[in-house]
Amino acid sequence: MKKPAPRETILSLFNQAVNGFVSGAQISAELGVSRTAVWKHIRSLRQAGYKIDAIPSRGYQLVQAPDILVPEAILAGLGCRRVGSRVCCLDVTDSTNLQACRFGDDGESEGLVVIAEQQRSGKGRMGRYWESPAGVNLYISILLRPAILPFDAPKLTFLSAVAVCRAILSVTGLQASVKWPNDVLLQGKKVAGLLNEMSAETDRVHYVVLGIGVNLNMQEDQFPDNLRYPATSLAIAGDRPVSRLDFTRALLREIDAWYQIFLQQGSEPVLDAWVQLCDMTGKAVRVDCNEVQIEGVMAGIAEDGALLVRTATGKMERFYAGDVRPA
């Protein structure tokens, strides 16, 4: 296993500190460096925006961490088995999904995480533009290499949705819901969108990229006027700002845990968890698909992830694409 970077190790020690203090001797022993080198690493963290006090006879104390997304802060004590083998944080990119796909094509190992402060060409389902202002949200893509058939890969979208909802609950206490096929809602408004992309042959998957965009701290005046669906952010819904670092770490842990379940038990537990988070089941819905509108009652989702809608005639319709809304 790759040895953690010194700053990652120091931040991990701060996270684990029982009384809030970490001695210089402890850091020195952990890193295998001199006390002078420890001081240089502490100075480097301070220059990066971390407020660290040095108290005689007690050690160093992390007083405040900047809300920035850097690999060492994300990985410090993360504890994931597969997700986070490497974290790449970019200031600006065209799309985190496109960047992750490039890494995948170049042979990058499973678990790579790509994060950007801003996307120039962020995209959602069906090629729609995803608004990506800098420094307020989370734009993240995760590279996975599951040993599954291409037919099963779309089910990983449901895994992403479940992970996002659970991360929202753990960080904010807010209960989100899911909307087929790839949206997460808060109070009936879109707070996150998911877009998975795949490289595969007929009988094998080379890689899958889980693309996730979550509105964390956007304010009302930052949303575009031409949204197809009402949107919100965690800050608006919870009436307080959200730590982007805390949310990112929570999300990666959830994805890692649910990915383990998916690999060991198959997609059934993931789909069951998704259904529990969907508040449209059993309610009247309208599905727009290929310029055709069909109304009925949402009956759930099939084993392959298709949307099931029972029409007024009793016929069960299956959808693999389209927009679903309350009727």
Percent of the chain with pLDDT over 70: 95
Q: Which domains does the chain have, with CATH numbers?
A: 6-64 (1.10.10.10), 71-277 (3.30.930.10), 284-326 (2.30.30.100)
Using one digit for the tens of pLDDT, what is the confidence trace for 272-281? 999 999 999 9
Phi-psi region at 157: left, alpha or beta (left = phi > 0; alpha = psi -120 to 50): alpha
Q: Dihedral of CA 61/64/70/74: which sign?
A: positive
Closest of 152, 156, 158 to residue 304, by C-alpha: 152
Band (311; pLDDT cuts 50, 70, 90): very high
Q: What is the pLDDT of residue 124?
A: 52
Using one digit for the tens of pLDDT, what is the confidence trace for 74-89? 998 899 999 999 999 9
Using one digit for the tens of pLDDT, what is the confidence trace for 241-279? 999 999 999 999 999 999 999 999 999 999 999 999 999
Q: Is the pLDDT of residue 123 over 80?
A: no
Between 220 and 165, the higher pLDDT residue? 165
Percent of the chain with pLDDT over 90: 76
26, burial (CB in 10 Å: exposed 0-12, middle 13-18, buried 19+): middle
241: how many CB neighbours lie within 10 A of its CB?
Answer: 14
CA-CA-CA-CA torsion for 158, 163, 166, 168, nearest 10 degrees?
A: -110
Q: Is the pLDDT of residue 299 over 60?
A: yes
pLDDT (mean) for 222-238: 86
Band (222; pLDDT cuts 50, 70, 90): confident
Q: Is the pLDDT of residue 309 over 70?
A: yes
Q: Is the pLDDT of residue 128 over 60?
A: no
Place of tokens 């099939």: 302
The mean pLDDT of the chain is 92
Q: What is the pLDDT of residue 164?
A: 98
Q: What is the pLDDT of residue 290?
A: 82
Half-sphere exposure for 135 (CA within 13 Å, toward CB): 2
Between 236 and 64, the higher pLDDT residue? 236
Report the distance separating Cα 108 and Cα 94, nearest Å.
19
Q: What is the pLDDT of residue 228?
A: 62
pLDDT (mean) for 82-107: 95
Q: What is the pLDDT of residue 129?
A: 53
Q: Is the pLDDT of residue 115 over 90?
A: yes
Q: Do 122 and 148 meet the contact criterion of CB atoms below 8 Å apart?
A: no
pTM (predicted TM-score): 0.86
What's 90's DSSP letter?
Answer: E
Band (63; pLDDT cuts 50, 70, 90): very high
